[in-house]
Structure 1
Amino acid sequence: MTTIDAPRTPARPARKGGVNWEKWGWIYMRASGLVLIILIFGHLLINVVLGQGVKQIDFAFIGGKYATPFWQVWDLLMLWLALIHGGNGMRTLVNDYAYNRVVNRILKWAILAAVVVLVVLGTLVIFTFDPCPAGAPADLVASFCPVK
């Protein structure tokens, strides 16, 4: 005789003790989503809605923004939260649909590697951006740059 598991019986029994990473991932997704809404709409408001719209965005505009630590931190928070939020969402999809244990691990490591590489590269761009590059034409650099 075959017995059928009761509804909502977990496929894998829950571990006893330790950190509940799924719970913290769920909390992170909600908290980072709320903060991202504020960061993204603030970003769009400043960069697109106020001023001259999209046509104002050029190298000098970005150079002027990144000359102040406020915008560096704003964009850094947006970058980190968005990438980690997206990586965690992709991890959840892999857990839901990749049943093969080896494929599951490979995909999760690939997501982690992509998130880490993009976070490192984005952070480097934000903090090493030079708004006054040597040898650049005067009409392409920010107005605060000294004429060379």
Structure 2
Amino acid sequence: MTVIESPRTPARRAPRRGVNLEKWGWIWMRASGVLLVVLIFGHLYVNLVDGEGVKAIDFGFVAGKWASPFWQVWDLLILWLALIHGANGMRTIINDYTSPGAVQKVLKGALLLATVVLLVLGTLVIFTFDPCPAGSPAELLPSFCTA
């Protein structure tokens, strides 16, 4: 006589050792998603509602905002959370639609490279942004810069 186990019976597997990266990726997506909602709505409120709307957003607006370390960190958090959140989502899509092997490794490598490059460049832009660089011709500087 053949016995069929109940569908709710947990599968018998060998105990796993080490860190469960898929579980932590799942947790990351939920936590970063909640933080991103708060950060992005704060960003939109300050940039669009609290001020004069879209017409006020220009080079000078960004320069004034990034003069404050608070807004630099705020925008840095949005950049890092959004890029890593998106990269983790793309990693999941790559896992779902490709078979383990060379193609999957190349796609994940390209994704990792693109993510790291964008994080480094974005971070450099936020922290090295200088609207009034020394030695620039006065006619090329914004009106709020003293030549």
Query: Into which bin does the TM-score normalised by the smaller protein fall?
Result: 0.7 to 0.9
Mean alpha-carbon deviation: is it higher for 111-120 or for 45-54? 45-54
- Give per-residue Cα distances to partners, 1:56-115, cap 9 Å, x unaligned: 011111100010100000000000000000000000000011015111111111110000
Q: Which digits, 9 at most, give the CA deviation of each residue in 1:23-43, with x for residues without a partner? A: 000000000000000111111
Q: Matched residues in 2 for 1:53 and 1:67: separation?
A: 20
TM-score (structure 2 length as normaliser)? 0.84
1:132: Cα distance to partner? 1.7
User: Could you tell me which residue of structure 1 aligns to residue 142 of structure 2?
Assistant: 140
2:41 matched to 1:41? yes
Distance change in 2, residues 1:99/1:22 (3 Å): same
Q: Unaligned regions of 5+ residues in structure 2, if any? A: 1-6, 8-12
Structure 1 residue 108 and structure 2 residue 104: aligned?
A: no
Within a 5 Å distance, the mapping from 1:71-110 to structure 2 comes to 71-110=71-110
Question: Secondary structure at the residue paired with 1:51?
Answer: coil
The whole-number CA distance in structure 2 between the counterparts of 1:136 and 1:66 is 21
**Map of 1:125 onto structure 2:** 125
TM-score, length of structure 1 as denominator length: 0.84
Q: Give the % identical residues.
A: 64
One-letter code aligned to 2:68: T
The 8 Å contact of residues 66 and 131 in structure 1, kept in 2 or not, is answered as no
Q: Could you list the runs of 5+ residues in structure 1 that have no partner in the other structure?
A: 1-6, 8-12
More contact order relative to length (CA 8 Å, sep ≥ 6): 1
Partners of 1:23 and 1:97 lie apart in 2 by 19
Aligned-residue CA RMSD (Å): 2.2
Supply the distance in 2 between the matched residues of 1:101 and 1:36 (Cα, whole angstroms). 33
